[in-house]
Each structure stands twice: as structure tokens, then as C-alpha cells.
Amino acid sequence: MNALSKPYPGKIIPRDVPSDPNFYKELLDHMSDGVYFVDRERRILFWNERAVRLTGYEPEDVMGRFCQDEILCHVDGKGKRLCQEGCPLTATIADGEAREAQVFLRHKQGRRVPVLVRVQPIHGDDGSVVGAVEIFTDETARLAAARKTQEMERLAFLDQLTELPNRRYLEMSVKTALTEFHVHGDAFGVMVIDLDWFKAINDTFGHATGDQALVEAAKTLLGAVRTSDIVGRWGGDEFLAVIRHVDLDIVTRLAERCCALMAQTSIKSGEREVVSLSASVGGTVARRDDTADTLIRRADQMMYSSKAAGRGRAVVK
């Protein structure tokens, strides 16, 4: 947000700007927000108790000093220093418009604190602007909560073990691709990739080795498809890829590449044992009468055909 953005209505019209902070202290020291008053030269006339806690600066550190001394060294989200240029206080004193902005102040200990500042003009008896009041709120908790929400949303679409998209995300991707296919004719296909003999790996070497096999298989498949494609974990030892802008030949080549690269993938179990991996792949392209279920089911049938044909190969139709 631009530091001078978002004007909002409201005016404060006292008789004059008192220079005695005791006038405000009893009321304003109990506020949960930081508050300070300035005159037209941006000289600080009042500094409440919450401002002390948010910034680390005591009243004696700031009273009588000017905002342009860069005590708090406000910057915007791009790191632009606002105390000399782009200051909301300066703009409000100049035009009498109230403002709010999201900025970062510098704490006395050096760290940056995200704050929402709200600035309102102070008018004298003749209506002229004689100063301004800035109220600032610590945004740390709100931003942390927003980041947590974003992370939860990200994790809702992420397979925790392989860190590939999960089934929910893949289902959404197939439905989106189908919509674009039906509306715009953007051809696409899907591949179902299943690790061969995965149960035997788990039973013989243990679940830790099985998990390692899934992780390494995920990395191999991610490198096998194109950057425009989506590959994720469908469930268990099964992966699914959504291949955009393709025909049957391209899907066939990608499916064969997945098989070939998986055949060259191995993991270690313990100190010496090397476990080679293999995958069976089934692929198909979307048809006009397809739903997400029929499309994936057809690719799944092709994958089982490759299993029946000896595993470690691709069947695409």
C-alpha cells in the first residue's frame, strides 16, 4: 500500500494544540494503540505509553524532536524511507485530509515493526491545520495470523511426505483443465503412475525405506515432466500427472520417459542394500464426453494394462 493512500473522513478540532502532554496523558496512556501529536513543523508534542512499548522510545527520547529527524525511520513495503518524502503526516498537514497506511517503523533496538498508521489533521479555531495526530497499531500479530492462514491453505494442497501437490489439488487441476478443454479446446491428457512392487519394498525393508522410495520417485517424476505440467501424489504409491497442450504422441513420449527415468532410480536401505525402483504408467487424452472421473479411470485402466504386460512400461490410448 502506498504510504499516502486511502483517505478517510473525520476531523479533530480542538481550540489549539496543547504542548503539555499531561492534558492527554490520563486518557491516551490507556489506549491499546500508540499515539503522538505533532505541530505543523512535525515537532512531537505528545507521546503516549503504548507508543513507548511499541517503539522502545521514552517520551524524553522524542518530545520536542522532529519526525524528519528519522527517529522511527518509517519505510514502506519496498523499503522507501518516508520521513523525508512520502510522509502521511506531511501530506495530512498540507491538505487537511485524513489518511491511513501500512508502514514499518524502526524499534529502538533496531528491529522493524509493521504498523498500521492512521493520521488525522488537528484544526485551530480559524479552521486552519495546526498539526496532526498519528495513531499506530502493531500489525505483527495480524500479519503472523495471515501467514499462518496462507500456510494452512498451502498445506491443504500439499502432500506432506513428497511435497508434491496432493489429491485434492490434482482433482481441482483436472476439472480446471477439462473446463478449458470444453470452452476453448485446449487439449490435455493425464497419466497415472504406480510404483511397482511397492508392497514388497515396505514388507522387506520397512516403511522408512518405503517412504524414501516415494520421496525419490516424486523427485524423479517432477524432473520427467515439463515445467508446464502438474505431477502430484494421488494416494499410496500412485502419482498422477496433468499434461497440458498435448496430443496422444506427446503423452506417450512423456509416459515412456517417466518409465525410463524411474528404472534408473534407486535408493539405499541401510548401509549397503540398494533398492531399484520401477513404475507402470497409463496415459490418455481428454475426450469431449469426458468427466474428470471417466478420464482418470481410463488412465488408471491403461496403468493396469501396463502392469499386466510386465510392469515397468507405459500404455497410452
Which of helix, strand or coil describes residue 301? helix
Taking residues 97-112, report their average pLDDT: 94
pLDDT at res. 17: 56
Q: Are 122 and 128 within 8 A, CB to CB?
A: no
What is the pTM assigned to this prediction?
0.60
Q: Are 194 and 284 within 8 A, CB to CB?
A: no
Taking residues 266-284, report their average pLDDT: 88
d(CA 171, CA 175): 6
Helical ranges in the chain per DSSP H: 22-28, 49-55, 59-62, 88-95, 140-155, 167-184, 198-205, 207-224, 248-263, 292-308
- pLDDT tens sequence across 83-104: 888 899 999 999 999 999 999 9
**pLDDT(2) > 60:** no
d(CA 79, CA 100): 18
Structural domains present in the chain: 22-145 (3.30.450.20), 157-316 (3.30.70.270)
In residues, how long is the chain?
A: 317
pLDDT at res. 4: 41
Neighbours of 191 (CB within 10 A): 28
Q: What are residue 134's DSSP bridge partners? A: 36, 119
Residue 16: band (very low, low, confident or very high) from pLDDT cuts 50, 70, 90? low
All three cell numbers of 206: 520397512
**pLDDT(215) > 50:** yes
Work out whether the CA dihedral 248, 250, 252, 254 comes out positive or negative.
negative
User: If you search the block for the grid coordinates 520421496, which residue do you land on?
Assistant: 215
3-state helix, strand and coil shares in percent for the chain, rounded to the nearest 5: 40, 25, 35
Q: Ramachandran region of residue 296, left (φ > 0), alpha (ψ -120 to 50) or beta?
A: alpha
Among residues 64, 60, 30, the alpha carbon closest in space to that of 44 is found at: 64
**pLDDT(300) > 60:** yes
